[in-house]
Amino acid sequence: MQDQKEEALLCSIQSPADVKKLSLAELELLAQEIRERMIQVLSQTGGHLGPNLGVVELTLAMHYVFDTPQDHFVFDVSHQTYVHKLLTGRNDRFETMRQPGGLNGFMLRTESEHDSYGAGHAGTALSAALGMAVARDLAGGKEHVVAFAGDAAFTNGISFEALNNIAGQTRRLIIVLNDNEWSIDRNVGAIASYLHKIVTNEHYTHLHDSAARLIERFGGKAVRNVARKAEEAAKSLLWPSVLFEEFGLTYYGPLDGHNLPLMVETFRFLKQQDKPVLLHALTQKGRGFQPAMDKQKKFHGLGPYDPATGETKSAGQKTYSEIFAESLTRLADRNEKVVAITAAMPNGTALDLFRPHHPQRYFDVGIAEEHAVIFAAGMATRGFKPYCAIYSTFLQRAFDPIVHDVCLQNLPVVFCMDRGGLSGDDGPTHHGLFDISYLRGIPNIVHMVPKDEDELADMMYTAMLHDGPCAIRYPRGTGPGAAVKPEPVAIPIGKAEVVCDGSDVAIFGLGAMLPLAQEMSQALEREGYSAAVVNPRFTKPLDREVLASYARRVGLIVTFEDHVLMGGFGSAVLEALNEMQLAVPVVRIGWPDEFIEHGKPDALRRKYGLTVEAALLEAKPCLARIRRKQLVG
């Protein structure tokens, strides 16, 4: 009967209004059912399980007290909004999470009126929430704005830029600091240490009674029996000079973020405050699923798993990220000036494999991409060779430091851009489809794209030898499985590789798209055309010699790239041909000028025409001219 009751609870939630009809005891049952629902569904779809298991009670309490969509919840990163989606009319579609045509893994304004702000990167919630609060004040509104940010978000400079402005620009804003001590890996730096000191300060052992009275003020005697840290949490009374107070926010906490009655009464109390406030809530990432608590890095975000054991299927083949980390370790073994830098992504970039070998030359700077790049520039001025491992989509945040601090000074920093290209299920906030465009216009930089794992190792070695800035983009997941040579080989800067020669068509397949170029070549050969295949290797500088050689003798050039067409590799080819005054038709295959949704890469490529069939169709008029020329000849 209890299972039926629990099932009935979640099935009865069509909107947040239904949540408000429940008793606190029913909320506790609903929290259990939500956890079971997420564990079962995500075992099939994959997703951010650990973060969402950790915010069940907090999200329930927020919806119990506030009224979306009139009130606005702004989640930092927004990977922890699955509970929010379940409570806002999307339970019946929850199995479609991160599936083609289904629910997005992050907040999406077009998905629901309850999603007030879309996100996918850290450090956005406080600024966006402040913008909403100021807009409300100017319009004379009464709605509440709640910014929900993990402790890792406070390692991001944007969060502090927002903190610097909140008290001076709005009279009312609620910030929830969800403190679980993790981003993807365990948090690092002074901010993490500071929050830890708040939680573990010995003075709390003497303050049981005063804290209990504060909680009693919030919710009555019924909620006095809370966790020790929550019982002793009269922080705003004890530390008037606490960091957040210095920014003009009234601080409450730390409180037990899993104590539903306490959270409900606390939000009711904060809802009445006519001033900016910050609630410091302590939560456990992965709560309610032991495998997720035991392996927090793994269960931050993962693919399908066994819901009983948490075990995942091993891919067997090494990923590009792992090849990168192993190659960098070998370079560091031989060169004491090689250092590795990550922005809170040791697991995602696989630098956690590098760290044990060279712990003194490994630096995790937190979610601070701009700082990572300038930090690398500083090291480079003193003779070191920094390798910055940052996702292509996250490196966008550091564009100015790349230009101003690295390239302008021609410093030998290497940007290793994981997730270069489509990132599949994570969607438009994570697709690395713009880095060729945003980097190749910068003087001094060399931009490389490997065709396979071995070429990635060679490019990393080439970058180590090059006395200037370099960028290497490589895809998410596994490659073709090429064995990495024991000794890397330096590639001449700007030199392409001619895979096979031909006289009618020249097909340039950039990086992971080289197999499509080879497939098209074979299709053309079957139709009687002579087709060359070129592995460009460099988007900057282009191999103009090879390009000009084919432009003078073929009737068509085709380019394949896992990147937007606008400003991408194909555009670079067109520009070079124009500058060399060589007239030859060019068919460019790449992503259109729009944000690409989440989905399986192969399906998305078919949908948007990144296929051999689409290339042949577009090339048909040129192929007909080539055929007529063959017949005349």
397 is catalytic: yes
Using left for φ > 0, alpha for ψ between -120 and 50, and beta otherwise, residue 140 falls in left
Sheet of strand 145-150, all strands in order from the earlier edge strand to the far edge: 72-75, 145-150, 173-179, 276-282, 250-256
Sheet of strand 556-564, all strands in order from the earlier edge strand to the far edge: 497-500, 531-535, 505-509, 556-564, 586-591
Render the burial of 408-422: b for 16+ CB within 10 Å, e for the rest. Answer: eeebbbbbbbbbbbb
| Residues 589 and 559: beta-carbon distance below 8 Å | yes
| Residues 451 and 535: beta-carbon distance below 8 Å | yes
285 is catalytic: yes
Contacts of 174 (CB under 8 A, 6+ apart): 144, 145, 146, 147, 270, 271, 273, 276, 277, 279
Beta-strand pair 505-509/556-564? parallel
* Angstrom distances, CA of residue 304 to CA of 307, 309, 310, 437: 9, 12, 9, 34
Using left for φ > 0, alpha for ψ between -120 and 50, and beta otherwise, residue 151 falls in alpha
Q: How far apart are CA 491 and CA 505, in angstroms?
A: 26
Neighbours of 438 (CB within 10 A): 15
326, 369, 453, 455: which is the annotated catalytic residue? 369
Q: How far apart are CA 539 and CA 264, in angstroms?
A: 55
Give the pair of three-digit tokens for residue 222: 């019924």
Distance between first and last Cα of the chain: 84
Q: How far apart are CA 170 and CA 131, in angstroms?
A: 9
Which of 297, 347, 364, 352 minimizes the C-alpha distance to 328?
A: 352
369 is catalytic: yes
90, 98, 285, 605: which is the annotated catalytic residue? 285
298, 330, 385, 397: which is the annotated catalytic residue? 397
DSSP state of 180: -
- So which residues are the catalytic ones? 285, 369, 397
